[in-house]
Copies of this chain bind each other. A is one copy, B any other.
Amino acid sequence: MKVSAIITLKKDVLDPQGKVIQQALDGIGFNHVNEVRQGKYFEIDVEENDPVKAKKIVEDMCKKLLANLVIENYQIIETQ
């Protein structure tokens, strides 16, 4: 089954990439934006049909490889 993981920078970590996107949006007329923060999104198709186990596997992946837990948070979402 497919499980998705969203990795975002923690609240207190500066996001210069998001800032640049905000400036670009401002440049094309979106002037009422308070903040943009960018994150990563992974859609992982694991060979596991039990949603709970599949989520656990993807959570392990986040902890071991996908997310840097010092500065990032992860969020697991069931996709299918």
Contact = CB atoms under 8 A, between A and B. Distances in A.
A69 interface: no
Given A38-B40, A40-B40, A40-B41, A46 B28 contact: no
A43 B60 CA distance: 24
A32 B46 contact: yes
Contact of A42 (B39, B46, B64, B66): B39
A6 B4 CA distance: 11
Given A28-B65, A33-B47, 7 more contacts: A8-B41, A21-B65, A32-B57, A33-B44, A34-B47, A39-B43, A41-B41
Q: Nearest 4 A-B pairs (CB), nearest first?
A: A39-B41, A32-B47, A34-B45, A35-B45
